[in-house]
C-alpha cells in the first residue's frame, strides 16, 4: 500500500459504497440528481471553492472546521475557508441554483444543479499529501476520476437510448469550473536553492492540460478556468521565509508575483491551444488575479481599509499573520502567554480572512467577475446559459 492513490481510491470507494448502501436503505433518500433538461455547474479545485469536501472526508483535521470560520453566514464552520460563503457560493446563488453540495455529501445533498468536487490543499499535479497534518486529499486528476464515476452512475440510470442521449447533452451543456494550482506553488515554490521555476511551472501547466483533456474526453464543452491570485501579497506568503528580499512598492514579494504572472500567461496559451484544437468548445479564463491585484492597489474602491492584513490572525502589524497561530488553529504558548488567532471587528474592511482566502464580503467581487462577465475572457453570460438551456429543455419535453 505504498501508492497514496491506491489508498485514497480505496478510502473513497468505501465512502461511496457506504453512501450508496445508505441511499438504497432509506426509502425517501433526500438525494437529488440533475435532470437532463438543465445544465449543471461542475466545480473542481482547492480551498478557494471547497464547500465541505475535506470536512466530510476527514473531519476536524483542518483550521476551517473550527470557529470562527463560517461565523458570519452559517453561524458555524462548514469546511469553507471564509467567515461565510466563498465566491463559488455567490456564483451559484447568483445563478439562482442555491449552494452546491460537495461530492462526498451523502445526506441532504442536492446535485440537481451541479456537484462541487473541490478539495482543500489539492494540487494540479499528481501529488497528494498524506499524513497527520496534511489536508490535501484529492488532487485535480483524482477529482476528475470522481466526476467520471458520478457520470457513469447517471448514465447507468438512463433506461432508453433517448434518455442516454439527453444525459450526454446535459454534460455537454454544463459548465466546468476549475480553480487549481495555488497549492502547487504554495507548497512547492522556492523551497530549495535549486528550485527551477520554468520547469516547475511547465509541470503544473502540463497537469492542467491533462485535466482539461480528460474533461473534454468526458463530454465537457464549456470550461471556466480561474487563474492564480497574486501570491506574494497575501499574508501567508508575504511573511514566509522564502526569498524575502525583493518586494514591490506595495510590499508584495516579486518572486511570487513573477511566478504567478508566468503561470497565468502559460494558462492563457494553454486555453488558446485547446481552442485551436477544439474550436467548438469554449475555453474561458476567469481572471481572478486582476480583481485581487486591483483591490490590493486600490483598496478604498472595495471599501477595504486593511488590504494586506488577515482579519483572523495573530501578531498585528501590516499582515497580522503568524504561521504558528493560525485562524481556527489551536494556538500556541508564545513568550509565556497562550496565543490564539482572533477575528477582527469588521471583516469587510479586509480582503483576506486568514492566510490566503478572501473574506465573505470580498468574495462577492470575485463572483461578480464571473456573473457579470467582466473578468471572463472570452465573455459569456453564464446566467443566460442557465436560463436559456432550461427553457429550451422545457420546450423539448
Ligand atoms: C451512512 O449511514 C450511517 C448510519 O446512519 C452514518 O453514520 C454514515 O455517516 C453514513 N455514511 C455516509 C457516507 O453518509
Ligand atoms: C496522474 O494520475 C492519473 C490518474 O488519476 C493518471 O491517469 C495520469 O497519467 C497521471 N499523470 C502523471 C503525469 O503521472
Ligand atoms: C518574544 O519575546 C522576544 C523577546 O522579548 C521578542 O523578540 C519576540 O518578538 C517575542 N515573540 C513574539 C512572537 O512575540
Ligand atoms: C445575462 O442575461 C440575462 C438573461 O438574459 C440578463 O438578464 C442579464 O442582464 C445578462 N447579464 C449581463 C451581464 O449581460
If one counts every other C-beta atom within 10 angstroms of the C-beta of residue 168, the result is 15
> How confident is the prediction along the chain (397 residues), in pLDDT tens digits per residue?
344 444 455 455 555 545 555 454 443 334 577 877 789 999 999 999 999 999 999 899 899 999 999 999 999 999 999 999 999 999 999 999 999 999 999 888 899 999 999 999 999 998 765 544 455 789 999 999 999 999 999 999 998 999 999 999 999 999 999 999 999 999 889 988 899 999 999 999 999 999 999 999 999 999 999 999 999 999 999 999 876 679 999 999 999 999 999 999 999 999 999 999 999 999 999 999 999 999 999 999 999 999 999 999 999 999 999 999 999 999 999 999 999 999 999 999 999 999 999 999 999 999 999 999 999 999 999 999 988 655 555 555 4
- Contact 260/185 with Cβ under 8 angstroms? yes
Question: For the chain, which domains are there?
Answer: 4-24+32-299+360-396 (3.40.50.1110)
The angle formed by the CA atoms of residues 5, 126 and 110, to the nearest 5 degrees, is: 70
Residue 159, all three cell numbers? 433506461
Alpha helices in 58-196 (DSSP H): 87-94, 140-156, 161-173, 182-188
- Alpha-carbon Rg for the chain in angstroms: 21
Ligand 1 atom closest to the CA of 56, numbered from 1: 13
Burial grade of 261 (CB within 10 A; 0-12, 13-18, 19 or more): middle
126 lines ligand 2 (CB under 6 A): yes
Pocket of ligand 3 (CB under 6 A): 334-335
Model's pTM, two decimal places? 0.88
What is the distance in angstroms between the CA of the first residue and the CA of the last residue of the chain? 50
145 lines ligand 2 (CB under 6 A): yes
CA of 141 to the centre of ligand 2 (A): 7
Amino acid at each position: 500500500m505504498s501508492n497514496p492513490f491506491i489508498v485514497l481510491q480505496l478510502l473513497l470507494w468505501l465512502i461511496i459504497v457506504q453512501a450508496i448502501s445508505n441511499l438504497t436503505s432509506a426509502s425517501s433518500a433526500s438525494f437529488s440528481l440533475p435532470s437532463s433538461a438543465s445544465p449543471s455547474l461542475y466545480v473542481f479545485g482547492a480551498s478557494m471553492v471547497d464547500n465541505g469536501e475535506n470536512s466530510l472526508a476527514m473531519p476536524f483535521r483542518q483550521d476551517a472546521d473550527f470557529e470562527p470560520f463560517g461565523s458570519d453566514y452559517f453561524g458555524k464552520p462548514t469546511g469553507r475557508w471564509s467567515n461565510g460563503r466563498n465566491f463559488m457560493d455567490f456564483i451559484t446563488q447568483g445563478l439562482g441554483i442555491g449552494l452546491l453540495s460537495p461530492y462526498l455529501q451523502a445526506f441532504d445533498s442536492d446535485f440537481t444543479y451541479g456537484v462541487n468536487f473541490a478539495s482543500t490543499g489539492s494540487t494540479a499535479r499528481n501529488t497528494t499529501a498524506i499524513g497527520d497534518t496534511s489536508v490535501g486529499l484529492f488532487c485535480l486528476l483524482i477529482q476528475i476520476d470522481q466526476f467520471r464515476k458520478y457520470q457513469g452512475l447517471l448514465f447507468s440510470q438512463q433506461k432508453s437510448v433517448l434518455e442516454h442521449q439527453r444525459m450526454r447533452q446535459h454534460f455537454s451543456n454544463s459548465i466546468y469550473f476549475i480553480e487549481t494550482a495555488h497549492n502547487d506553488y504554495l507548497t512547492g515554490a522556492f523551497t530549495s536553492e535549486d528550485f527551477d521555476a520554468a520547469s516547475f511551472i511547465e509541470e503544473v501547466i502540463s497537469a492542467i492540460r491533462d485535466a482539461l483533456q480528460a474533461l473534454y474526453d468526458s463530454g465537457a464543452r464549456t470550461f471556466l478556468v480561474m487563474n492564480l491570485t497574486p501570491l506574494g501579497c497575501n499574508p501567508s506568503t508575504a511573511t514566509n521565509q522564502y526569498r524575502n528580499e525583493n518586494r514591490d512598492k506595495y510590499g508584495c514579494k516579486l518572486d511570487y508575483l513573477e511566478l504567478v504572472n508566468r503561470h497565468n500567461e502559460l494558462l492563457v496559451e494553454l486555453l488558446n491551444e485547446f481552442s485551436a484544437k477544439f474550436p467548438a468548445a469554449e475555453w474561458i479564463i476567469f481572471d481572478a488575479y486582476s480583481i485581487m491585484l486591483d483591490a490590493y492597489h486600490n483598496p478604498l474602491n472595495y471599501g477595504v481599509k486593511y488590504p494586506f492584513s488577515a482579519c483572523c490572525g495573530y501578531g498585528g502589524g501590516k499582515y497580522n499573520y503568524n504561521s504558528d497561530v493560525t485562524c481556527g488553529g489551536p494556538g500556541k504558548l508564545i513568550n509565556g502567554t497562550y496565543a490564539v488567532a482572533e477575528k477582527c471587528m469588521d471583516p469587510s474592511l479586509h480582503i483576506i480572512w486568514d492566510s490566503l482566502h478572501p473574506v465573505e464580503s470580498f468574495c462577492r467581487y470575485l463572483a461578480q467577475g464571473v456573473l457579470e462577465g467582466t473578468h471572463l475572457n472570452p465573455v459569456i453570460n453564464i446566467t443566460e446559459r442557465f436560463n436559456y438551456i432550461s427553457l429550451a429543455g422545457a420546450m423539448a419535453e
